[in-house]
Chains A and B, each alone.
Chain A
Amino acid sequence: MPLLTDWVKKAIEPEPSSQQRNCRLPEAGERDEDELLAVRNLSVNVKSSSRPVIEGIDLTVGRGEIVGIVGESGCGKSVLSLSIMGLLPSALKLGGGELRLNGQSLHQASQRQIRSMRGKHMSMIFQDPMTSLNPTLTIGEQLTESLRLHLKLGGREARERAVLWLRRTGLPRPEAILSSYPHQLSGGMRQRVMIAIALCCEPELLIADEPTTALDVTIQAQILDVLFRIREEEQTSILFISHDLGVIAELCDRVAVMYAGQIVEQGTVEELFESPQHPYTIGLMKSIPKPEKKGMRLYAIPGTVPSLHDRGEGCRFQSRCAHAAAICLDAMPALEHRGGSHAVRCFLASGERREMDV
């Protein structure tokens, strides 16, 4: 019963502080005490064609850690997070690899087991708050149903707790909001409700899939503020998906950069932002608007992401890469360690490519 011992340990031992946090990439099969979520060599395929949408994903989220995922639209960030939650759309299915939460395999778990973990041990905030709430049920009903299910609270207790959580997300007059319907709230208010729903059972892992993309800029900052204030208090681990490198740099401990269904580079925020090595990561950094470059045209990586069908044998980024060589066309580079927890999927950064370059 690895799960039970984990719980006991967690209860007796104090939480590790962020300084003590282990930041290296664990090897396959290794089981780390601090590890909360482990994704090992995971792939997700299209059911009809068996084509992989994401593949070879290796990712660890430690207890109390915030891990960011960046990447262009369509690179598979949502597919990755849905596969962790066991909520893949019916056209997709899990391929090879491993998924573990608290040491318990999610890959082999029955539907019933995964269901008992959803909402209780892991939960998710979605991209679009306008459509993510049920239009025919009150906010109170949608918020209390998980409290009643997972924490076995009675009607009144659940209501009181729901009010408490709505207040924590900074919503004014939480009692009135409990009895209102989603269409009566603004996008920002709905996303606060979603945060309350996701966190009210105090899960260890929160997956936030671009929680602010659909909101306007001033609201975005408020929502992020709420999210990270509550997570400071609860020590929730977060898998934070975003387009915004600035936000990632500010909030995350570690970052994984995804491109066309693969992780192409990962490491701590310092490693990645101080010495990005993959040409795609470098391109992403260059395309962040900077105040001192005011008036100049924004940099954009040339070309577009190859579609599922156009992915060849070689490196996925090769068609857009200024440094591509013959080997990049023929072989897929592996995700290799570059000291510390830094890992890069590129020949350019590895020996093979250097030798060929001269």
Chain B
Amino acid sequence: MYWARKSFTLLLTLAFVLLLTFFAFRIIPGNPASAILGMEASQEQISELEQKLGIEGPLHLQFFRWAGGVIQLDFGHSIRFSEPVLSLIASRLPVTLSLAAMSLAITLLVALPLGIAAARARGRFADLFISLTSQLGLAIPSFWMGIVLILVFGLTLKWFTVSTFVPWSENAWLALKSLTLPAIALAVPQIAIVVRYLRTTMLEQMNEDYVRTAKSKGLSNANVYYKHVLRNALIPVVTVVGINFGEILAGSLVIEGVFTLPGMGRLLMTAIGNRDYPLVQGMVLLIAFTVIIINFVVDLSYRWLDPKIRLK
């Protein structure tokens, strides 16, 4: 029942995204054929090229042609690169996804201990320090953070080489190294959000009766916090992290520009600039699909954390 309902919503959302990606971008004025041929092209030349690119005729027929292809995993050919959309995306996706995954990992690794520490030190120096710093982290835009990181760790200290991305398949260690700085830049505001949120939910949970029961057994403070309180406090935090993953993904499109990483971000910019309809549509669809999958994973971890939902 759960799976049936879940798959149905998944399909429905995908169909909606499909529609939106196609029509939203077509509303914007501009034409790829005239973009390619330049100002002097005649009307005949333009319609000839349109026919070749498969963007002629009524819009709804174009849509059905495209959607029919998508269902068979055929996303069409890129206009700008004259290459299949799918292979273009496949070459760029690993960079963006590993960047997003890395910054999520950094976010959790740093934010969870800090949030717990702030809650435990409530009102004392450590709490004030963490809260103040996270306020600052929230105010700094990622791209600016990226530039500062490049200046300090790349150009001055020379700990990281900037602007040379090594693919995972070539050298995993160097790939990891070239993604570290942008991942940190992306993670900083996320860390700030999660720390503040976790601190609040931990403090809320600490007033609950079951905490008093746990203490009445003689458990150590660490045990009470990490075993009893954290698990309950994480339930709402997971939702926030899930919603923010979309944000991380969007952020990585931007930060790729700052660090000149060959990811989806730069490909998307080029595609939009050239009115490369098939490529833009394919990429937006894929990004939406990723976000939907992430939400699904969030839902699963939610069920794992909260037995009330799991056992319903």
Contacts and interface: CB of A to CB of B under 8 A. Distances in A.
A115 B210 CA distance: 16
A261 B305 CA distance: 42
A213 B143 CA distance: 59
A195 to B, nearest CB: 12
Interface of B is mostly: helix
A146 interface: yes
Interface string B184-215: 00000000000000000000000011101111
Contacts of A49: none
A198 B213 CA distance: 9
A184 B220 CA distance: 28
A183 B215 contact: no
Contacts of B212: 87, 126, 132
Contact of B232 (A118, A126, A136, A184): A136
Given A134-B214, A136-B232, 10 more contacts: A87-B212, A116-B218, A126-B209, A126-B212, A135-B306, A136-B235, A137-B227, A142-B213, A145-B227, A197-B213
A142 B291 CA distance: 37
A132 B210 contact: yes
B226 to A, nearest CB: 12
Contacts of A150: 218
Contacts of A128: 209
A149 B227 CA distance: 14
Contact of A117 (B215, B218, B228): B218
B216 A136 contact: no
11 contacts: A116-B218, A117-B218, A118-B215, A118-B218, A119-B219, A126-B213, A134-B232, A136-B305, A145-B217, A145-B227, A183-B311
A132 B209 CA distance: 5
Interface in A150-204: 150, 181, 183-184, 194, 197-198
Contacts of A124: 216
Interface size class of B (residues with CB under 8 A): 20 to 34
Given A126-B209, A126-B212, A136 B307 contact: yes
B5 interface: no
Most buried by A among B209, B210, B213: B213
A184 B227 CA distance: 21
Contact of A149 (B217, B235, B306, B307): B217
Given A126-B212, A128-B209, A136-B305, A149 B218 contact: yes
A308 interface: no
Interface residues of A, number: 30
Contacts of B214: 134
Contact of B228 (A134, A181, A194): A134
A115 B218 contact: yes
B308 interface: yes
Contacts of A85: 216
B312 to A, nearest CB: 10
A120 interface: yes
B217 A136 contact: no
B216 A135 contact: no
Given A131-B210, A132-B209, A136-B232, A119 B216 contact: yes
Contacts of B305: 136
B52 interface: no
Contact of A137 (B208, B220, B228, B311): B228
Interface centre among B208, B232, B307 (most CB of A within 10 A): B307
A226 interface: no
A131 B231 CA distance: 16
Given A181-B308, A184-B311, A133 B217 contact: no
A83 interface: no
A133 B210 contact: yes
Contacts of B223: 145
A211 to B, nearest CB: 13
A274 B219 CA distance: 44
A197 B216 CA distance: 10
A123 interface: yes
Interface in B135-192: none
A131 B223 CA distance: 19
A142 B210 CA distance: 10
A4 B177 CA distance: 61
A124 B216 CA distance: 7
Interface string B265-308: 00000000000000000000000000000000000000001111
A136 B96 CA distance: 35
Which among B209, B216, B220 has the highest number of chain A CB atoms within 10 Å?
B216
A120 B217 CA distance: 8
